[in-house]
């Protein structure tokens, strides 16, 4: 019987929302990033840049998340919510990997580069999953605004594509149901 390990990993991977308080082995993040650099990439522009937040810096990023929540609540005139929970969401991660796009002048190039960055994020997630490491893709507060840019020390022509919170899963959410294939597919023969 043929074995299809990639297809299996694709099916089994889940977004992980809670992590065990365990650090990642030396070199693991580098292995993930190295794999991510092998994605399809038109013109071989290699637009991805990675900023790895780990060690004590994860706590500083968690503090920043709390500040951002406070600011947003004040601006919108809404209750600030459970700040300890906002902090814990970030602080529980063993590392946070930012995928940053080097932004090209040309619009078409920017679109294609963004696509490559997104594929890199997915590969990173899949290879992590193969090593029993879970990831949560984030495009929320942690990826927006000047304070985050400054924390990451980004250059003027670098944009945050997203960040991935990484760690050993405490819990793996159940799978969710997809539309039947016939509802999303047309054949032309
Ligand atoms: C472009 C993109 C942005 C996402 N942004 C967030 C986010 O900001 N916060 C979050 O919790 N999950 C985010 N996710 C994760 C999705 O919510 C998650 O993939 C979805 O619920 C399906 O679950 P699964 O990954 O276990 O299949 C994002 C996923 C993608 C592809």
Identify the residues whose C-beta falls under 6 Å from ligand 1: 14-15, 136-140, 173
In a domain, 1, yes or no: no
Residue 98 is part of a domain; what is its CATH number?
A: 3.40.109.10
Task: Name which residue sits closest to atom 30 of ligand 1, judged by CA.
Answer: 137
Number of folded domains that form the chain? 1
pTM: 0.97
In a domain, 8, yes or no: no
* pLDDT number for residue 172: 98
Instruction: Calculate mean pLDDT across residues 32-38.
Output: 98
Atom of ligand 1 nearest to the CA of 13: 26
In a domain, 4, yes or no: no
The CA distance from 185 to 188, in Å, is 10
Task: Name which residue sits closest to atom 7 of ligand 1, judged by CA.
Answer: 138
In this prediction, residue 112 has a pLDDT band, given cuts at 50, 70 and 90, of very high
* pLDDT number for residue 2: 79
* pLDDT number for residue 1: 63
In a domain, 50, yes or no: yes
Q: Percent of the chain at pLDDT above 90?
A: 98
Atom of ligand 1 nearest to the CA of 143: 8
In a domain, 23, yes or no: yes
In a domain, 28, yes or no: yes
24 within 8 A of 58, measured Cβ to Cβ: no
In a domain, 149, yes or no: yes
Q: From the CB of residue 92, how many other CB atoms can be counted at a distance below 10 Å?
A: 17
In this prediction, residue 57 has a pLDDT band, given cuts at 50, 70 and 90, of very high
Calculate how far, in angstroms, residue 73's C-alpha sits from the geometric centre of ligand 1.
23
Calculate how far, in angstroms, residue 138's C-alpha sits from the geometric centre of ligand 1.
7
Task: Name which residue sits closest to atom 6 of ligand 1, judged by CA.
Answer: 138
What is the domain range of residue 82? 14-183
Helix (H), strand (E), coil (C) string for 141-189 = HHHCCHHHHHHHCCCCCEEEEEEEEEECEEECCCCCCCCCHHHCCCCCC
In a domain, 3, yes or no: no
User: What are 13-27's pLDDT values in tens digits?
Assistant: 999 999 999 999 999
């Amino acid at each position: 019987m043929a074995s299809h390990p990639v297809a299996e990993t694709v099916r089994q991977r889940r977004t992980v929302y809670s992590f065990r308080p365990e650090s990642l082995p030396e070199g693991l993040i580098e292995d993930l990033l190295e794999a991510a650099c092998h994605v399809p990439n038109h013109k071989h522009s290699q637009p991805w840049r990675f900023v790895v937040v780990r060690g004590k810096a994860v706590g500083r990023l968690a503090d920043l998340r709390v500040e951002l929540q406070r600011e947003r609540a004040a601006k919108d005139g809404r209750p600030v919510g459970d700040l300890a929970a906002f902090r814990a969401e970030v602080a529980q991660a063993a590392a946070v990997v930012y995928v940053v796009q080097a932004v090209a002048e040309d619009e078409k190039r920017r679109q294609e580069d963004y696509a490559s960055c997104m594929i890199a994020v997915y590969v990173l997630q899949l290879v992590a999953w193969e090593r029993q490491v879970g990831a949560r893709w984030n495009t929320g507060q942690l990826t927006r605004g000047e304070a985050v840019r400054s924390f990451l020390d980004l250059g003027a022509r670098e944009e945050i594509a997203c960040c991935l919170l990484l760690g050993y899963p405490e819990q793996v959410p159940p799978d969710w149901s997809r539309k039947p294939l016939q509802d999303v597919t047309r054949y032309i023969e």
